[in-house]
Chain A
């Protein structure tokens, strides 16, 4: 609402905590991003890493980074920002008793942090970690040391104080959050905020969000799927943009199980791969802008190689042939598990596979139920969605979870886990790339999975609002401004 300088934003899910370190709810990042600053900022337009609180960062060796810090900045409570705050923050992150979300995974490799001078900090890692910058970009919000020490780190869950462009003014937990502009914000990698107030409301029902948008009760909606937004195309006063996302979906097949398992036959898996008209499916069901995947990664991820051979383009005849040669001319029955909200994809797959005699029994369920069963090894076929979040900016995350020899690895390839591990401890980009090339090629050769699509993020705004869809799915609302 431009008239009172308030940007009204809707999200579908509530956030328990404002800061993303304490909660797994994704929408917390929405707030963290604008309340706090990180040392390094990922440019929303290009994806490039830029200085934010750190004016520069240098890898002095494979395991050491030195940060030069920005001077003359104050936290929203007036506390000055300096190396002590950075050191304090890292110490908190290293203290495993704090039980932060994914703490071990993201910060377990930090060996130590050291204040060199008031504006210089040195950080050491235990082993080389090529993806560590990603962590810095999204996971390390710098806290004021005195405020945090005095109140305990949990204070940030409800009364956050950072250096960011907006400060939390008021919240009705689970229903509405009001943020006001930080007038003293420095003009750095991200510009000074222009809109005075941001009001975020939780509206679980998407249709209600759309109704609000149409009736002018909202300026922006962040949780709409491309399909939801499609209905808004052509509605006057509303702009629909799509941006990239790192999230990707693939069809997982149980390769490892030995008995009575048609899917451990490579020909069958190839037949399945050939049978699916990905383009048609993705472009009509997800979005014309969504990436159709040929390799098992989202092109927006680092090291996602898109030139891997072989690829399987839609070819029912070939698929049938392969089925026959594998001895399954009659087809077989299989259960496909999917999270409830991607049911249309499941149904589409069901339709495609029925053409080659694979009779799919589709079971949809809420995410936790799906995950529980998937981890227990109960999946024959599943549509797996992975990513969205800073850790998936790099391909290592996706491959590392599903091809690591653990219970979530339905392939149990002898070599892939080793290649992946090697890639994760090398700082040499070329070496990492070649290792990932090996992995991705093996996956395609064996048709271990059917890579499906990378999602897009949809940003629906009213005309009054100027907002450019970011290249990574971490919206930074401080970048929004009024159109006129």
Chain B
């Protein structure tokens, strides 16, 4: 780096503008925000009660297909519930699972990463050891085993996923912290008498935050997918609230006869996860300094 390019590197506004020019980031953020809005406004947006069943109109195809009805835009499920409404409400579960898991695992993983990375030495060996233990456990299998024993609920699902999938945070935060803890501004804070927690929170965290954000988006995507997979394996979140993974799992009974039951939530998951990943990628690109390197 040189004195020259620093004077011209993007300031905050520029960074925002840069963000806006990053197509993937914008797309990802837009879809995610849209989904959040849909989830929040579900009662307003959903044309029907997602739980209101009407067995006389079960398995209606989407409106544009033969036999579809305009008041059930995406058709109905096996209980005659409006598929669009369920899709809209289902976004809530996906987002709640995604966000909560991301938070829990984020807190656990980042804390471990910070501690290991900052203190180094034996503390780090111990943290590395914990990470290794975690990595060597097959995550999905353990989640499967625990949920099948405890029984699925939104809470268990979130806890199990959150308590299991913190490894990426830990690994990334630890490495990033290791790189920063030797920075001179950390030494300066130490000389000024700052405690380790103070330094971690005030000096290191801001510099690692973008890594955490990137991982968070990936983690969120993974949690959404895991929820879907567990639902597929019959260990999803129980009723009444529909989740997208559950909708696929339920719809799969009609995979060949009524494929839309699988395709609609499948596409929804795909788009949401894609958007989250795009957002993560965008964040990654944007957090890299411009110019040389």
Contacts and interface: CB of A to CB of B under 8 A. Distances in A.
| A and B in contact, CB less than 8 Å | yes
Contacts of B80: 284
A346 B53 contact: no
B257 A231 contact: yes
Given A231-B253, A343-B250, A369-B149, 13 more contacts: A214-B256, A230-B254, A231-B254, A231-B257, A232-B256, A277-B55, A285-B78, A285-B79, A344-B79, A347-B51, A348-B79, A351-B53, A369-B151
Nearest to B52: A351
23 contacts: A206-B253, A225-B253, A227-B253, A227-B254, A231-B258, A232-B256, A284-B58, A285-B78, A343-B239, A344-B79, A346-B239, A347-B239, A348-B55, A350-B240, A351-B51, A360-B240, A363-B238, A364-B151, A364-B152, A365-B151, A369-B148, A369-B149, A373-B151
A230 B235 contact: no
A354 B51 CA distance: 10
Interface in B32-62: 51-53, 55-56, 58
A210 interface: yes
Contact of B255 (A210, A280, A351): A210
B148 A227 contact: no
A231 B153 contact: no
Closest 3 pairs between A and B when the two form their complex, measured CB to CB: A231-B257, A365-B151, A362-B239
A348 B58 CA distance: 12
B78 A210 contact: no
Contact of A350 (B51, B153, B234): B51
Interface of A: 206-207, 210-211, 214, 225, 227-228, 230-233, 277, 280-281, 284-285, 340-341, 343-344, 346-348, 350-351, 354, 360, 362-366, 369, 373
A366 B146 CA distance: 12
Given A340-B234, A343-B239, A281 B55 contact: yes
A259 B74 CA distance: 45
A186 B27 CA distance: 73
B256 A211 contact: yes
B134 interface: no
Nearest to B242: A347
Contacts of B1: none
Contacts of A348: 53, 55, 79
A350 B239 contact: yes
B252 interface: yes
B14 to A, nearest CB: 52
Contacts of B234: 340-341, 366
Nearest to A365: B151
A207 B255 CA distance: 7
A452 to B, nearest CB: 14
B137 interface: no
A412 B196 CA distance: 63
B8 interface: no
Interface of B: 51-53, 55-56, 58, 78-80, 148-153, 234-235, 238-240, 250, 252-258
Nearest to A345: B79
Contacts of A340: 152, 234-235
A280 B54 CA distance: 10
B242 to A, nearest CB: 10
Contacts of A364: 151-152, 238-239
A231 B53 contact: no
Contacts of A354: 51
Contacts of B58: 284
A51 B149 CA distance: 45
A343 B148 CA distance: 15
Contacts of A232: 256-257
Contacts of A206: 253
A207 to B, nearest CB: 5
Nearest to A366: B148
Contact of B55 (A284, A346, A363, A366): A284
Nearest to B241: A362
B240 to A, nearest CB: 6
Given A340-B235, A341-B234, A351-B52, A369 B256 contact: no
A366 B148 CA distance: 6
A363 B157 CA distance: 13
A308 to B, nearest CB: 26
Nearest to A283: B55
A292 to B, nearest CB: 13
A231 B152 CA distance: 28
Contacts of A277: 55
A340 B250 CA distance: 11
Contacts of B256: 207, 210-211, 214, 231-232
A210 B259 CA distance: 13
B282 to A, nearest CB: 36
Contacts of A360: 240
Contacts of A346: 239
A366 B51 contact: no
Could you say which of B51, B148, B153, B253 has the most chain A C-beta atoms within 10 Å of its C-beta?
A: B253
Nearest to A282: B55
B209 to A, nearest CB: 39
B250 A280 contact: no
A277 to B, nearest CB: 8
Contact of B250 (A228, A344, A363): A344
Contacts of A373: 151
B78 A227 contact: yes
A373 B252 CA distance: 29
Contact of B235 (A284, A285, A366): A366
B254 A363 contact: no
Nearest to B54: A351
Nearest to B150: A369
Contact of A365 (B53, B152, B252): B152
Contact of B53 (A225, A347, A362): A347
A228 B258 CA distance: 11
Nearest to A370: B151
Contacts of B52: 351
Nearest to A351: B53
A351 B78 CA distance: 13
Nearest to B237: A364
B79 A231 contact: no
B252 A207 contact: yes
